[in-house]
Amino acid sequence: MPAGLAPSQLDFLNPSGLFHYPWALYTAAEGVNDKTPTMISDRDRSHSFVLGDSGGFSLISGAVKEAMSDFRERSLRWIEKNCDVGLPVDIPTRAIDVQPNVWNFDRCLHTTLDNTDFSASNAATHVRLLAVYQGRNHKEARRWIEGMKTRRLWGLAIGGHTRLDFWFWVSEIKKYIDAGYFDHIRHIHVLGTTEPGVAVMLTALKRALRGYLKCEDFEITFDSSRAYRVAQAYGQVTTGLKLGIRGNSGAPDAFDFRSFKFPQFGAQVDRSSYFPFASPIGNLCTVGDLMPGASPADPAFDEIGSNLLSHHETYMELAAIEQANLLCDMDQKTGSLVPWHVQEGVRAIHDYFRSGDMIHLNGRKHYLQHYNNNDIDDRDLNH
């Protein structure tokens, strides 16, 4: 390891690491095959929280090569042993587009319901599970809710094409709380999102639900693969929170990540220079510590360098998200750097849980759907 570092210092779940962040998601698709101790298996649970993803899509995509009945059992046992909260094996509706000759909506839903019932019936008493909700559009998402709503687990995990549609999910969550189906939930996880603006709106939703459910320890989490998949595949790192101003508020494209991309092959950088971006790991390393590749024919990053880059990226993403939340909490009346769609979205979320005024929520629909770039109307797809 460079700079005299020990591998344990890269463990951000450990308070004695280079930085401490106590939250993580890890997938059963990887975890069930771990043969040696990891930062997940060896962590101090009093200082950390791990959400266990079921690995459902890895199963149907072929990355996991075993029968559903075997994998759901192994996934559940791994979650029991290693995680604080977990997901039963779900079949994402994205499988319909990936394998249209194998999966349709009904099969995705009924397989997920069966796996959920299996996990709820066979899990150890201490295990907290989230019911997974999917759907490629509003119609599918509503059908999924109707099928899943009676499974009273610890909370919800929201996936599918509608997951960033705050207009849809704010109204659906309140409706099903009021109907007595979601009034027990203590945790919501949103699967696969990255944007700082989404993080700010999820903070608003968490605060609104803590008040509405009268539960101060209610939690909302989300996960991002940017620090590992994107950083390691493309050498792309976050340099800070993207800001800008238009008129009297933040620009519409602000509250994203500013990025920089390193060369992918060797001999294109000065390896003796200091790493150009500050972070707990970046402050200790040279460029060559991360990018030892000396030939244009070789990859710039080796395995150690890629993991150092991911550690840097994790810290930078967290810093940008924290800054975005702090800027929103300042609630500046003039000259705010917070984009207008975020300001209006946050206000609309709080107003709806206070008043239940659907007309007002509908009037903010454009802002609440800003981060959902998919076609999520109610047209029929492949059933």
pLDDT score at 381: 40
pLDDT at 56: 81
Q: What is the pLDDT, as a whole number, of residue 249?
A: 82
Clarify whether residues 235 and 306 are in a common domain: yes
Q: Do 26 and 151 share a domain, yes or no? A: yes
pLDDT of residue 59: 77
What's the total number of domains in the chain?
Answer: 2
Looking at the structure, tell me whether residues 46 and 125 fall in a common domain.
Answer: yes
Residues 203 and 116 in one domain: yes
Kindly state whether residue 348 falls inside one of the protein's structural domains.
Answer: no
**Does residue 43 belong to any structural domain of this protein?**
yes
Do 30 and 159 fall within a single domain?
yes
Tokens representing 112 are 């997920």
In this prediction the pTM is 0.95
Q: Are 207 and 226 in contact (CB under 8 A)?
A: no
Bridge partners of 156? 131, 188
CATH number for 182: 3.20.20
Whether residues 40 and 179 share a domain: the answer is yes
Give the pLDDT of residue 380: 42
> 188 with 117, same domain?
yes
Strands 85-86 and 49-53: parallel
Residues 283 and 134 grouped into a single domain: no
pLDDT attached to residue 248: 77
- Can you give the residue range of the structural domain that contains 200? 13-227
In a domain, 383, yes or no: no
Phi/psi of residue 347, nearest 5 degrees: -65, -40
Dump pLDDT digits (tens) for 177-206. 999 999 999 999 999 888 999 999 999 999
186 and 78 in a common domain: yes
Cα separation values, 41 from 35, 76, 310, 383, Å: 11, 15, 20, 40
Residues 213 and 253 both lie in one domain: no
Q: Which residue has the tokens 């995990």?
A: 157
* Tally of residues, the chain: 383
- Inside any domain, residue 349: no
143 located within any domain: yes
Q: Is residue 41 part of a domain?
A: yes
Quick check: is 3 in a domain?
no
| 355 in any annotated domain | no
Residues of the chain with pLDDT under 50: 379-383
CA atoms of 327 and 310, how far apart (whole Å): 26
Tokens of 350: 């709080």
